[in-house]
Amino acid sequence: GGTSAAATGKRGLWSSRLMFILAATGSAVGLGNIWKFPYITGENGGGAFVLLYLGCIAIIGIPLLMAEILIGRRGGRNPAGSMEVLAQEAGVSSRWKLLGWAGVITGFVLLSFYLVVAGWAVSYIFTAGSGAFNGATSDDIGGLFGGLVSDPVASTAWGTIVLAITATIIIKGVKQGLEKAFSIMMPGLFVILLLLVGYSVSTGYFGQGVEFMFNSDFSKLTGTSVLIALGHAFFSLSLAGGGMMTYGSYLSKDVSLSKTVMTVGVLDTVVALIAGLAIFPIVFANGLEPGAGPGLIFVTLPLAFGQMPFGQIVGVLFFVMLSFAALTSAISLLEPAVSWMTEKRGMSRLKAGVLTSAGIWVLSLGSVFSFNIWQNYTLFGKTFFDTLDYLTSGWIMPLSGLAMAIFTGWIMTRAATHEEVGDGWGYRIWRFLIRYIVPVGILAVFLHAIGALD
Ligand code: PHE
């Protein structure tokens, strides 16, 4: 594409293919992998759900990740700008830029509630470090977590810290800010994850963890398991959150997308599986329940940390890892809005970063209050936090995914997508999946969802 070179002229580009892989993997690996994946696996009975999830990643998630990064790279701008460029190239209505907008807005809204949970993670580094878990009973631990989420001031303060760190990194720009942060946090995350698995093996319950995660008992799946698996594949790969499209726009033209995108998808999946293998043996070794829900890592795991040898150190390491994972994802949620404001409104990164963060901060109060002073204000039985989560992951992200599949599979020319993805079998398989399997898969899950609702 001749347009993109000109468009990227003034923008930051990743200094290498590896930097892009770190950035995109940093976006993908987050609370989704370490907090959500283990607990939904626990709730959905283990192995069969894991298989279902792997299927969704392979045939729907990775092709869509390719589509999203492809759009960004070829467009070479912020998500709305890139969609506009590509709609023009394909000779279709410029309304397609709404799809880019959806990404910017989803990132903005998602960050407002993501940072609340990220704030809990950061605060737990200090809770674990203080020795508060040592020998504590389950009532003590439940009280610690309950005390945090029910305190609007403390929750807001921790969320603000997460947002301030994220904004500071963003304001410094792609090379000075993002790349430096990823070069520290991503290796840190991988090293800690491996240490934790090593520890898990030493508990003697590793086999039981493996058994739980891979022994497929399909009778444990419920009707909504498929929905949860697909929704989580979207969330975990950061699909339709604007970040992957924006990161793609900073990627040089020389890189072949097929291998690069596969690497990111595989790394994200491997981290989720390894996180499960680190967590479940510790849960079993302490005679605890894997199906504890969202409290699995904030209540169940701390209970285990309080009972096991070196639990205080392992606890600190665990929450440092979780915080790194959450921060690198938060960066990718803020970057789309900032790139839109700098390119379209001509603002400096400083001004754009401060303004977007201020907006996100205000919105985040609603999510903080969902766990305390507003917990009784619900819409269709959902709190403010749950409503935002449901609207983004349940509707906007899958619908955007469907639109991205149609756009890259049916509207862009074969020549254009072929030029981006690269040659070989990878391209043919991708094109088949994105044209037929991905749209049908998303629609099927939607129909199922609508059926399951009544
Ligand atoms: N993939 C991130 C996680 O697993 C969340 C995320 C979604 C980040 C969408 C960016 C965009 O935690």
- CATH code where residue 129 lies: 1.20.1730
Ligand 1 and 387: CB distance under 6 A? no
**220: confidence class by pLDDT, cuts 50, 70, 90:** confident
For residue 100, the tally of other CB atoms under 10 A from its CB is 29
Residue 265 near residue 62 (C-beta atoms within 8 A): yes
Cα 172 to middle of ligand 1, angstroms: 22
User: In 309-437, which residue ranges form alpha helices assigned H by DSSP?
Assistant: 311-344, 349-369, 384-389, 397-406, 414-421, 425-432
What's residue 45's pLDDT? 87
Give the nearest ligand 1 atom to 332 CA: 10
Ligand 1 and 243: CB distance under 6 A? yes
Q: Mean pLDDT in the chain?
A: 93
What's residue 3's pLDDT? 42
Does the pLDDT at position 7 exceed 50? no
Which residues are CB-contacts of 51 (< 8 A; sequence separation ≥ 6)? 216
What does the pLDDT look like over 147-188, one tens digit per residue? 999 999 999 999 999 999 999 999 999 999 999 999 999 999
For residue 137, the tally of other CB atoms under 10 A from its CB is 10
Least confident of 4-13, 43-52, 214-223: 4-13
Task: Tell me phi and psi for residue 14, to 5 degrees.
Answer: -60, 140
Task: Tell me phi and psi for residue 382, to 5 degrees.
Answer: -115, 140
**6: confidence class by pLDDT, cuts 50, 70, 90:** very low
What does the pLDDT look like over 329-362, one tens digit per residue? 999 999 999 999 999 889 999 999 999 999 999 9
Does the pLDDT at position 328 exceed 50? yes
Residue 430 near residue 258 (C-beta atoms within 8 A): yes
What's residue 12's pLDDT? 75
What does the pLDDT look like over 376-409, one tens digit per residue? 998 888 999 999 988 888 889 999 999 999 999 9
Cα 415 to middle of ligand 1, angstroms: 31
What does the pLDDT look like over 82-114, one tens digit per residue? 999 999 999 999 999 999 999 999 999 999 999
Ligand 1 and 106: CB distance under 6 A? no
β-strand partners of 382? 379
Ligand 1 and 240: CB distance under 6 A? no
Cα 244 to middle of ligand 1, angstroms: 10
C-alpha 305/C-alpha 188 separation (Å) is: 21
Ligand 1 and 30: CB distance under 6 A? yes
| 194 vs 224, more confident | 194
* Location of structure tokens 């989704």: 32
Residue 364 near residue 157 (C-beta atoms within 8 A): no
Residue 83 vs residues 166, 167, 248: alpha-carbon distances, Å: 26, 25, 13
Give the nearest ligand 1 atom to 32 CA: 4
What's residue 451's pLDDT? 66
**449: confidence class by pLDDT, cuts 50, 70, 90:** low
Report the SS3 class of residue 328. Answer: helix
- Determine the residue type at 171: I
Residue 284 near residue 205 (C-beta atoms within 8 A): yes
* Location of structure tokens 């407002």: 112
The Cβ-side half-sphere exposure at 292, using a 13 Å CA radius, reads 22
* C-alpha gyration radius of the chain: 21
Ligand 1 and 332: CB distance under 6 A? yes
Ligand 1 and 166: CB distance under 6 A? no
What's residue 452's pLDDT? 61
C-alpha 36/C-alpha 60 separation (Å) is: 19
Ligand 1 and 269: CB distance under 6 A? no
Nearest CA, atom 6, ligand 1 = 238
**5: confidence class by pLDDT, cuts 50, 70, 90:** very low
C-alpha 213/C-alpha 309 separation (Å) is: 24
Q: Which of 108, 159, 158 lies closest to 333 in space, CA to CA?
A: 108
What's residue 9's pLDDT? 44
- Could you list the residue range(s) of the whole structural domain that residue 347 is in? 2-453
- Mean pLDDT to the nearest integer, 109-131: 97
- Mean pLDDT to the nearest integer, 108-128: 97
- Substitution candidate for ligand 1 out of 40, 104, 114, 267 with most atoms within 8 A of CB: 114
Does the pLDDT at position 4 exceed 70? no
- Mean pLDDT to the nearest integer, 76-82: 97
Q: Is the dihedral of CA 210, 213, 218, 220 positive or negative?
A: positive
What is the count of structural domains for the chain? 1
User: In 215-310, which residue ranges form alpha helices assigned H by DSSP?
Assistant: 225-236, 243-249, 257-285, 301-307
Residue 119 near residue 155 (C-beta atoms within 8 A): yes
- Mean pLDDT to the nearest integer, 28-35: 95
Give the nearest ligand 1 atom to 30 CA: 12
Ligand 1 and 290: CB distance under 6 A? no
Cα 108 to middle of ligand 1, angstroms: 12
For residue 346, the tally of other CB atoms under 10 A from its CB is 9
What's residue 362's pLDDT? 98
Ligand 1 and 28: CB distance under 6 A? yes
Nearest CA, atom 11, ligand 1 = 238
pTM: 0.94
- Substitution candidate for ligand 1 out of 332, 335, 392 with most atoms within 8 A of CB: 332
Cα 68 to middle of ligand 1, angstroms: 14
Report the SS3 class of residue 399. Answer: helix
**226: confidence class by pLDDT, cuts 50, 70, 90:** confident
C-alpha 423/C-alpha 330 separation (Å) is: 33
Kindly state the helix (H) or strand (E) to which residue 207 belongs, with its residue range: helix 206-214
Cα 357 to middle of ligand 1, angstroms: 18
Give the nearest ligand 1 atom to 29 CA: 4
Nearest CA, atom 9, ligand 1 = 238
Report the SS3 class of residue 370. Answer: coil
Encoding tokens for residue 428?
Answer: 């043919």
What's residue 8's pLDDT? 41
Give the nearest ligand 1 atom to 242 CA: 11
Ligand 1 and 329: CB distance under 6 A? yes
Does the pLDDT at position 453 exceed 60? no
